[in-house]
Structure 1
Amino acid sequence: MKHISLLLGSILVLGACASTDRLTDSQRMEMYRSSAGEPVRDFRFFGSLNGWTPLGERALVVWTRPNEAYLLDLAGPCQDLGFAPAISLTNFSGQVSARFDDVIVRGGGSDIGRIPCRIQEIRPVDVKAVKVAEQELREANVEERQRQPEQD
């Protein structure tokens, strides 16, 4: 029985170490919102995304280039956004427009019956500011953990 307790304790410690650099969903959302500019009507889309990050059920960040990102606020909850292996964006002639275009969740079985997620608002993200904020939040999280006394 003692060996099982030690094993479980080791797993919990390793799990805590693996997640030390992770930001909470609320930290990530606040970081992107504070780094986003004023709303824009649309943005140029080059046919494929360089990356994307879900921010709950009603928002996500998409990267169109390594140093170009947009915060997309959705009109309502987007089914399976946090678990999707891929997404796509509708567009017209290479422009993604607020209130006209959608985020489409892809993968995880059949896409039949999935409701597209309408883009309500588009805000350009200051990618350099995000990188600085991420680093500061990670450092603050590490300092916080270092100050907490170890529990036996």
Structure 2
Amino acid sequence: MKHLRILAWLALPMTLGACASLSGRPSDQQRRADYEAAAGPAQNSFLFYNSLWSWEPLGTDRVVVYARPKQAWLLDVPGCIDLPFTNTIGLTSNLHRVSVGFDKVLTGRGGFGIDRVQAGRSGIPCTITRIRPVDVTKLKQAEVERRPVEEKPRDSATVQPSKP
């Protein structure tokens, strides 16, 4: 009986892993490729009014930040090892402008207020080395095209003829 219980516990992760791989969610590599394809040419800075609508880490060297639902930026932040694991991020800016080489993505917990910055607990700073705008419409179109569509022919018996 003890061996059967151990065998069940060993089989559980494989079963759950198989179920997870069958989900319709794109892989991290696919998400990253989609953002790369939708990103425009590099620019030096962008306007940022101190509130992130959303963000998504793309590994330890890239993050997408949404200033608004239809305005996103792909930021290169090499060596930002906490990025995939953090639950919150912050951006530094100067006069509402985030700039390459000067501003940073802050990772960490507990907020990014001035008291935390002065106390040295504002998260690990990751310098932004490249900024590219993301065409959100193009990104959404790529997601729609990849979505599986199941087409089934209609049974002629269930189709009602239209009356003239």
TM-score normalised per structure 2 = 0.71
> How well do the aligned residues superpose, as a CA RMSD in angstroms?
3.2
The Cα shift of 1:113 comes to 8.5
Q: Which residue of 2 aligns with 1:149?
A: none
Do residues 128 (structure 1) and 137 (structure 2) align? yes
- Amino acid in the other structure paired with 2:131: I
Aligned equivalents of 1:59, 1:137: Cα separation in 2? 23
Q: Match for 2:83: what amino acid?
A: L
Partner of 1:34: 37
Where 2:26 maps in the other structure, the secondary structure is coil
Partner of 1:77: 79
- Identical-pair percentage: 38
Listed as ranges, the gaps of 5+ residues in structure 2 are 111-115, 151-164
Structure richer in helix, relative to its length: 1
Unpaired stretches in structure 1, ≥5 consecutive residues? 143-152
Residue among 5, 16, 21 paired with 2:19:
16
Letter in 1 for 2:143: E
Residue 106 of structure 1 aligns with which residue? Answer: 108
Spell out, residue by residue over 1:37-66, the C-alpha distance to the aligned partner (whole angstroms, 9 max, x if none): 011111111111000000000001000001
Asked which structure has the greater RCO (Cα within 8 Å, sep 6+), the reply is 1
CA shift in 2, pair 1:89/1:136, >3 Å: same
After the TM superposition, which segments of 4 or more aligned residues of structure 1 sit over 3 Å from their partners? 110-115
Give the direction of change, closer, same or farther, for the CA distance of 1:99–1:19 in structure 2 (3 Å limit). farther
